[in-house]
A and B are shown apart, each in its own frame.
Chain A
């Protein structure tokens, strides 16, 4: 293989890997949007919150360490964090969503902005705001295998992230397609009234959806935190999810995945091949340009349903 082509491949692969992270964040958005029509501005903060919680369960110097003088094993820390996310979901339903049933989407959106600030503040108070290295024992550095066989430089962590994301999506797919609650979730996403008429409780469904979104956020938070430390900027990856959603469609799980990958790859390619024309650093805004261009051509996204107002 020519060095040029190899270089190109390397960009693609690293773009795909970065894209996996975007996909994970976007996935959380899609779940909540489908089930309740809420654009959850707090999704990024949920990632941060989960990563902070995990840090405090397992890291030396974290809460558990300071209070009890020992740290939890990683697996237990992850389960506990998942538990925390479920409690957060329950609280969100209990304290916020319950009172906003049947409100206009914009009001719900505003509520999630408020929620984002509350969670952020709580994270700050509970866990502190300094950058925390999150080490759950994931392999670091370049994969020798990829380097030796293909001559490609790929981070091990990114490969792990890709597998974890794939596994997560597979589990969610089974849950959604094959179980009563999965069916109930799809039913609620499709038609609230009909769902109520068969005895599905919207409140329960919302708690479940937000829990699932919280756990997806946790996975994204762990991956991202392992890569670049747990810090406030983690909550900003939510902003990257927006172009992903515009690309993939707000209601499509496959759309979130593929949209994330496209943005990941597109960003990297643009940075290398187009960047120099603009003097570099276009990675930061390229995704939004792409999304904007896409919006003009296909507003419902790659996989979203076409929205036709009934009159």
Chain B
């Protein structure tokens, strides 16, 4: 599907990551990398550690072991607001929108790291701050057009149906013009038509803006269809890594999905 897309160098690599909560080993010695412009799927059964992995990448969780190398810089852990500042945006498995705010305002928050005018100007709502606000507003309107959600611009997102909320959340992440976009089950709970729309948006973002995407998804059809490479987790361990075809043929993966006991 993306034969023409130039997949580049390694953008992010996690090495020997281990993360546990008390006695629960959410991640054990996990290493893999994500290359520029690719769509990298992370799959695995429930509780495998997929969301934990994303949380490690954007700094919500701090692993006990291992390193994260992002754009050439190696760290023990990320910090959420540093991750955001350096181009990592994300969506959540259980939608985390600002429920009382409108679609427009929610997506505007995505511009946060790019708006620089100080508290003073903003308190007065004057001059530079006002111009800046308008500039970013225009960018956000483009995202709204792209995601085809003009009709709900002013609606408080708490009132929107699930599928649209997921779309607004994607909009908020895109507003940051991320280099690396982390999507945690963006299609969960959607009907077929909504899934197709979401797939199209993800592919468009990847193709048109060259955004690198890490995607957690349970729908195997979708995963095999749109991803370039897949990493498979099971009980916190990595059991497979490769192209969709390679992963499909991997005996460990097949066993994990069929529930063969360990």
Contacts and interface: CB of A to CB of B under 8 A. Distances in A.
A195 B58 CA distance: 13
B105 to A, nearest CB: 6
Nearest to A174: B125
Interface string A13-45: 000000000000000000000000000000000
B81 A200 contact: yes
Contact of B92 (A175, A180, A194): A194
B154 to A, nearest CB: 13
Interface string B99-127: 11100010011111101010100110100
A198 B119 contact: no
A199 B100 contact: no
B112 A178 contact: no
A10 to B, nearest CB: 38
A190 B48 CA distance: 29
Contact of B108 (A183, A190, A191, A200): A183
A199 B84 contact: yes
Interface string A179-217: 111111011001101111111110000001000000000
A182 B121 CA distance: 12
A199 B96 contact: no
Nearest to B80: A196
B60 interface: yes
A156 to B, nearest CB: 29
Contacts of A199: 80-81, 83-85, 112-113, 176
Nearest to A178: B125
A182 B176 contact: no
A100 B172 CA distance: 29
Interface in A69-100: none
B58 A179 contact: no
B133 interface: yes
A179 B111 CA distance: 12
Contacts of B83: 199
B172 A179 contact: no
Contacts of B115: 180
Contacts of A200: 81, 109, 112
A183 B81 contact: no
Interface residues of B, number: 34
A198 B174 CA distance: 10
Contact of B84 (A187, A190, A197): A197
Contacts of A190: 97-101
B98 A187 contact: yes
Nearest to A192: B96
Given A179-B133, A181-B122, A201 B100 contact: no
Contact of A175 (B96, B97, B125): B125
Contacts of A183: 101, 105, 108-109, 112
Contacts of B129: 179-180
B109 A191 contact: no
A198 B172 contact: yes
A203 B2 CA distance: 42
Contact of B122 (A182, A187, A196, A197): A182
Contact of A194 (B98, B108, B133): B98
A174 B98 CA distance: 19
28 contacts: A174-B125, A175-B122, A179-B122, A179-B123, A179-B133, A180-B117, A180-B129, A180-B132, A183-B105, A187-B101, A190-B101, A191-B97, A193-B60, A193-B92, A194-B98, A195-B98, A195-B109, A196-B60, A196-B81, A197-B60, A197-B80, A198-B89, A198-B109, A198-B110, A199-B83, A199-B176, A200-B81, A200-B109
Interface of B: 58, 60, 80-81, 83-85, 89-90, 92, 96-101, 105, 108-113, 115, 117, 119, 122-123, 125, 129, 132-133, 172, 176
Interface of A: 174-175, 178-184, 186-187, 190-191, 193-201, 208
List of 9 A-B pairs having minimum Cβ-Cβ separation, nearest first? A199-B84, A194-B96, A190-B98, A196-B80, A199-B113, A179-B122, A180-B115, A187-B98, A201-B81
Given A175-B122, A183-B105, 6 more contacts: A174-B125, A187-B101, A190-B100, A196-B60, A197-B92, A201-B81
